[in-house]
Amino acid sequence: MKNAYSAIILVAGSGSRMGACRNKIFLTLNGQAIFRYSLDLFLADSDCQQVILVGKFDEKAHFEHLLSQRVQFVIGGSERQDSVRNALAVVTQKTVMVHDGARPFVTASELSALKKQKNAILAAPVKDTIKQIIDGKILKTVPREALWGAQTPQLFETALIKKVHEMAHKAAFLGTDDASLVEQFSDVSVTIVQGSYENIKMTTPEDLIFGQAILANRSDD
């Protein structure tokens, strides 16, 4: 299958900034757990041959009913980067997408756009004026024309992302996302695929309000 890929979904979040007493990916939007939106999207894509849920050991039981030949669970590490590396060890396809389970609003059309690339990430142009700050004072205004906010999924050739993850591990380098490891440890260019401003990461209580609005707007379309 030409566009076959594996999907890694990170589900080892916390609820601290959300003000929740449990993993935020179990919070619900319209009665469905946040992580289920992206899981269901990948499962609906016939090109997605394998889904790897990466989570905490003590939360594995919450995912048991979802596991199958196509969906498996891997124990995560102490950092997000460690969790991705653990999942990469069991990836079966030559291409892999890495996605945060706290981003429930990625769309099928965005997956399709990513699959046309070799190594690419979803991102959106920065809308706000960006200030560089030192000691609480503005140093300068950063031109925003070339600034984009990174999102997930991020798609990579499996051999490449495995290699840079191992190199980062050996160098004790902690990147801010998977694309940053490709930037640091290879000369491969990563393509930007324009995503949607709706592809938000559920992080704070306000995001639940935005999420409900996004779902309401989509149901009206």
Per-residue pLDDT, averaged over 4-11, amounts to 97
**pLDDT at residue number 20:** 55
Interaxial angle between packed helices 108-115 and 34-44, expressed in degrees from 0 to 180 and rounded to the nearest 10: 50
**pLDDT at residue number 19:** 53
Residue 206 is inside which H or E element, if any? helix 205-220
For tokens 């004790």, the residue is 172
**Which two structure tokens, joined as six digits, stand for 144?**
């925003």
Question: 220: how many CB neighbours lie within 10 A of its CB?
Answer: 6
Please provide the average confidence, as pLDDT, over all residues in the chain.
Answer: 93
CATH number at residue 86: 3.90.550.10
**Per-residue model confidence as pLDDT tens digits over 17-54:** 555 556 788 989 999 999 999 999 999 999 999 999 99
Nearest CA to 210 among 221, 218, 220, 198? 198
Domain span including residue 91: 5-220
Alpha carbons within 13 angstroms on the beta-carbon side of residue 76 total: 21
Split into its structural domains, the chain has a count of 1
